[in-house]
A and B are shown apart, each in its own frame.
Chain A
């Protein structure tokens, strides 16, 4: 064995640079975008393509370069993909709640509070899910 294959080395390096650039742009978005809801879009980039590219680089490096079977990274990516939308959703819901109750210390931003949904119902942050709807788990 005379070190890993140059092809694997190049591919892994390119993926790491790509992932790091997206993490950087995502962080820059967090700094420069005008308000909370817009800023929320920054981290979704860092956690999808940024982390995805870096984890793929790890797989490429060990699989092709070192010849070691490794799949841990795919599991990390999967769990990130499953959990990232939930944390974003919780942040958004807290923001909606604070806008409505007037507790928000952050500015409402260019979009302001959301329009109410058509019909009689409100958004689920402000009103419990109605009976028989997909969000109604009272009977379970």
Chain B
């Protein structure tokens, strides 16, 4: 298993990506996709610096949660843009303390925050313990920080143990 497939997750991703990219659902394409999926990780494995452990099932659930949140937040931000006057707008900087420690987990966390409309992650502290987030409308910054941590960071801690 580990000799032929050093990165099972990467192999699966390559197979799916190849199938999607070739845009053709036949056995010939699937065979080629499998060849690519096995060969590429096998030949590039020596150059991978580290292998973050990823739990795939929680990752799938996480993707579902994020897509749902993106849809909801889109409507909320659309309402803010259309109906809220600049005077009533309460934009704020949020300093989110990080419990995640790996670069991969922090990257996914920051990316999620940027993708959900209404919040953009702007920077990380030099000590790697805080994330700087700008919120379009946050009357209660502490509640916003707690929400982001409970909804995304808690799940990411399970995905990247």
Which A residues are closer than 8 A to B by beta carbons? 22, 25-26, 28-29, 32-34, 37-38, 40-42, 44-45, 48-49, 52, 69-72, 74-75, 81-82, 84-86, 88-89, 92-93, 95-96, 109-111, 114-115, 117-130, 133-136, 140
Contacts and interface: CB of A to CB of B under 8 A. Distances in A.
B76 to A, nearest CB: 10
Nearest to A40: B120
Nearest to A22: B74
Most chain B beta-carbon contacts within 10 A, residue among A85, A111, A115: A85
B1 interface: no
B136 interface: yes
The 3 closest A-B pairs by CB, nearest first: A85-B114, A133-B128, A92-B122
Contact of B120 (A22, A33, A92): A92
Interface string B96-107: 010001110010
Contacts of B136: 33, 38, 41
Contacts of B115: 44, 48, 81, 84-85
B77 A124 contact: no
B80 to A, nearest CB: 8
B21 A134 contact: no
A127 B130 CA distance: 14
A118 to B, nearest CB: 7
B49 A49 contact: no
A75 B117 contact: no
A46 to B, nearest CB: 10
Contact of B25 (A69, A95, A96, A118): A69
Given A133-B126, A133-B129, 14 more contacts: A32-B81, A34-B86, A38-B89, A40-B134, A44-B120, A49-B70, A92-B134, A111-B93, A114-B134, A118-B95, A119-B127, A129-B126, A130-B128, A133-B127
Interface string B29-68: 0000000000000000000010000000000000000000
A34 B81 CA distance: 11
8 contacts: A28-B81, A38-B136, A41-B77, A86-B111, A92-B134, A117-B129, A120-B127, A127-B126
B121 interface: yes
A24 B102 CA distance: 38
Contacts of A32: 81, 86
Most chain A beta-carbon contacts within 10 A, residue among B71, B77, B103, B110: B77
Nearest to A114: B93
B159 interface: no
B106 A134 contact: yes
A18 B66 CA distance: 19
A123 B120 CA distance: 15
